Amino acid sequence: MKVLVINSGSSSLKYRLIEMDNESVLAKGVADRIGIGNSSLKHSGKKDAVIEKDMADHSQAIKLVLSALTNPEYGVISSVSEIAAVGHRVVAGGEQFTQSALIGDKEMREFRDLVELAPLHMPACLTGIEACMEVMPDIPHVAVFDTSFHSTMPEVAKLYGIDYGDYKSLKIRRYGAHGISHQFISQEAAKIMGRKNFNLIVCHLGNGASLSAVKDGKCVETTMGFTPLEGLIMGTRCGDIDPTVVQFLCNKKGWDVNRAISYLNKECGVKGISGVSSDFRDLIAAENEGNERARLAIDMFAYKVKKYIGSYAAVMNGVDMIVFTAGIGEHTPEVREKVLSGMEYLGIEFDNDANYNAKGDIIKLSKDTSKVGVYVIPTNEELVIARETVAVVSAK
Ligand code: ADP
């Protein structure tokens, strides 16, 4: 059974075609600069290909993706009918979507009501789904939510200290994000531990970054909140901040609230602190050249991760495993060193030699005598989306 996984951004559409019989990736790629000119499709299938063609909207993009997938030279299927189902990544599932769902008219209406929960991401996501459903009307489409994994958080973790009536009527609460990645890592960690009962901390450290506390496979805490702005300091997002700062910024700079929130989302984080870049490759290079603000930005990033690890160990009454994943978590040993040094009190015996030198997909960062296992595990969100899609379609 072949499943097409789609991840739509405002001007991009990433795809991956997976043969679920053996979970192998048949083809993948990205359509870039949709609707903004100079658009192109980078495809990797039987062969790699770059197709430079104008794509005015997501509908044209998905048509180009399907023609690449069926191209005799670099495609991997002879007809679109070989695709059994399409799985879509959906950023916000609100309170109602605690599980992946088959998409019909009712679901599309409910998704539109969720746009205000993720105004930066949901519109693009819905545009992508609509385009795919229009181009592939006879194939089942499934929504897999970035929030579902966090729906098991208890009230003490998911509620804010605001009027309870406002939570009930306006649904103002913590939803979390990156749930698809946290779910994948939890399943992989359970395999390594070989048991179902465990306390796990997942550190998904990418441009957007979040931690989750996972007890016996279920999420009990996560750092992102009502939106992905809460929690860690990120590439360009400020993370936890006193909301009064918004009012102060508006008063001092003559901004409205939207401008202030856009600033906190796009102009802050390690980019704002360092004045160098939001990208950790640039930050590490600048730190190595003696740039003090780049060092400060990396230190602040790592400090916040360390702080949350400590609090999550407290919440779960200890931790058995900590996993690092996503761009920074998988590829930046300098950050892992800053986070994991000086955590002996938790029972972590950190192997910094393995941190810098061990090779392989899964890397063990803790010594064999360490009470807490610490690992790098590459995330695979597309595989989770494909597996969920198969589960939903099979249960139909
Ligand atoms: P997102 O998916 O949220 O855009 P990623 O998980 O791709 O983010 O992570 C991007 C971050 O990972 C950047 O800060 C980048 O510098 C860092 N990174 C460091 N080394 C690598 C690498 N070899 N490949 C990809 N990202 C890397």
For residue 119, the model assigns a pLDDT of 80
Task: Return d(Cα 341, Cα 346) in angstroms, integer.
Answer: 11
Longest dimension (CA), the chain: 61
User: Three-class SS string for 94-153?
Assistant: CCCCCCCEECCHHHHHHHHHCHHHCCCCHHHHHHHHHHHHHHCCCCCEEEEECCHHHHHC
> What CATH number is given for 194-376 in this structure?
3.30.420.40
> What is the per-residue pLDDT for 205?
98
Over residues 146-185, the pLDDT tens digits come to 999 999 999 999 999 999 999 999 999 999 999 999 999 9
Find out if CATH 3.40.50.150 is the number for domain 2-145: no
Provide the H-helix boundaries in 201-359. Answer: 244-253, 257-266, 269-274, 280-288, 292-316, 326-331, 333-340, 352-357
* Cβ atoms within 10 Å, residue 55: 25
What pLDDT is recorded for position 89? Answer: 96
Q: Cα angle at 260 between 259 and 263, to 5 degrees? A: 90
Query: Would you state the pLDDT for residue 214?
Result: 98
Task: Say if CB 70 and CB 77 are below 8 A apart.
Answer: yes
Distance between CA 57 and CA 62 in Å, rounded? Answer: 9
96 and 145 in contact (C-beta within 8 Å)?
no
- Beta carbon of 110 within 6 Å of any ligand 1 atom: no
Which ligand 1 atom is at minimum distance from the Cα of 235?
A: 14
DSSP 254: T
Which of 388, 323, 317, 367 lies closest to 346, judged by CA? 317
**CA gap 105, 111 in Å, rounded:** 10
Half-sphere exposure of 179 (CA within 13 A, CB side): 32
pLDDT for position 62: 94
Of 190, 236, 182, the residue nearest 210 (C-alpha): 182
Q: Is the CB of 286 under 6 A from ligand 1?
A: no
Question: If you take atom 1 of ligand 1, which residue's CA is the nearest one?
Answer: 207
311 Cβ contact list (under 8 Å, min separation 6):
none
Measured in angstroms, how far is the CA atom of residue 194 from the centroid of ligand 1?
A: 30
Q: Can you tell me which atom of ligand 1 is nearest the CA of 209? A: 3
Total-model pTM: 0.94
| CA 353 – ligand 1 centroid, Å | 22
Minimal-distance CA residue to ligand 1 atom 23: 331
Q: Which two tokens stand for residue 197?
A: 């009962």
Given a contact cutoff of 8 angstroms between Cβ atoms, the answer to whether 230 and 150 are in contact is no
* Residue 119, C-beta contacts closer than 8 angstroms, at least 6 positions apart: none
94 close to ligand 1 (CB < 6 Angstrom)? no
Q: Are strands 199-205 and 48-52 parallel, antiparallel or unpaired?
A: unpaired
Where exactly are the structural domains of the chain?
Answer: 2-145, 194-376
Residue whose structure tokens are 């909140």: 225
239 lines ligand 1 (CB under 6 A): no
Q: Do domains 2-145 and 194-376 have the same CATH topology?
A: yes
Count of other CB atoms within 10 angstroms of residue 356: 11
375 CA to centre of own chain: 18
CA 362 – ligand 1 centroid, Å: 17
- Compute the chain's Rg from CA coordinates: 21
- 331 CB within 6 A, ligand 1: yes
**Residues of the chain falling short of pLDDT 70:** none
Taking only the tens place, the pLDDT of each residue in 351-367 is 999 999 999 999 999 99
Encoded tokens for 210: 């979040």
Q: Does the active-site annotation cover 146?
A: yes
Q: Which residues contact 367 (CB under 8 A, 6 or more apart)?
A: 349, 350, 351
Nearest to 92 by CA among 210, 189, 225: 225
Burial of 300 (0-12, 13-18, 19+ CB in 10 A): middle
List the catalytic residue out of 146, 240, 242, 279: 146
Is 183 exposed, middle or buried, given 0-12, 13-18 or 19+ CB atoms closer than 10 A? buried
What is the end-to-end Cα distance of the chain in Å, rounded? 15
Burial of 78 (0-12, 13-18, 19+ CB in 10 A): exposed
